[in-house]
Chains A and B, each alone.
Chain A
Amino acid sequence: MRWVRSLLHRQDLEDRLDKELRFHFESQVQDHIARGMTEDTARRRVRMEFGGLDHIKDECRDQRPLAWLVDLRQDLSVALRGFGRSPGFAAVCVITLGVTIGANTTVFSLLHTLVLHSLPYAEPDRLTVLWTDDPKHDTATEGVSLANFEDWRRLNRTFDAMEIFVRTNDRQLTLSGQETPERVQIAAVSTGLFRLLGVAPIRGRMFTEEEQEKRLDVVLISERLWTNHFSHAGHIMARKLELNGKPVEIVGVLPGEFQFPYWNTDIWFPYTSFFNHNHTKISKIPVGRYNDWLGVVGRLKPRISIDQARADMARVASILAQEHPEAPKDFAGFGVTVLPIHEQHYGSFLRPALWILFGAVIAVLLIGCSNVGSLLLARAENRIQEFAVRRSLGAGSSRLIRQLLAESALLALAAAFIGLGLAQIGLRMAVQIADSSIPRLDRVEIHGLILLFSLAIAVGTALLCGCFPAWRIRRDSDNVLQGRRGTAGNKTRYALNGLVVCQVALAMVLCTVAGLLLRSFLMVNAAPLGYKPEQMLIFDLVNRSYGFASPREGQAHGIRVAREVIERMQSLPGVTGVAYASELFLERHPDGAVIIDGIERSDVPFTTSSVSRDFFSVLGVRLVSGRFLLPEEELDSRQRAAIINETMARHFWPNQDPVGRTFGRENRPWTIVGVVEDMRLRGREKKPVAHAFLPAGKNPWQPRILVRTQKDPVQLVAAIRNEVRRVDQGAVVHRLMSVEKHLDQMQAPRTLQASLVGIFSILAIGLAVFGSYSVLQYATAQRAREFGIRAAMGATASGLMRLVLRRGMAVAAVGIAIGLLASFWLTHLLAGLLYGVSPLDGTTFAGSAVLLILALAAASLAPAYRSSRANPVDCLRQE
Chain B
Amino acid sequence: MTMSFQTVFNFCCKDPYISSILLLILAPVLGGLLQGLDRKITARMQGRYGPPLLQPFYDIIKLFAKEPMALHRPQTVYATLHLVFMMVAVVLLAQGSDLLMLLFVQAFSVICLVLGGMSVRSPYSWIGSQRKILLMLALEPILLLLILAVNLKTDSFLGSSVMKLNHPLLLSMPLFFLAFLCVVAIEWEKSPFDLATSHHAHQEIVKGITLEYSGPFLGLIEVAHCYEVAFFFGLMMAFWHTNLMFSLLLGSGGFLFLILLDNAFSRLTPNWVLRYMWTVPLSLALVNLIWLWE
Answer yes or no: are A and B bound together in one complex. Answer: no
B residues apposed to A, CB below 8 Å: none
A residues apposed to B, CB below 8 Å: none
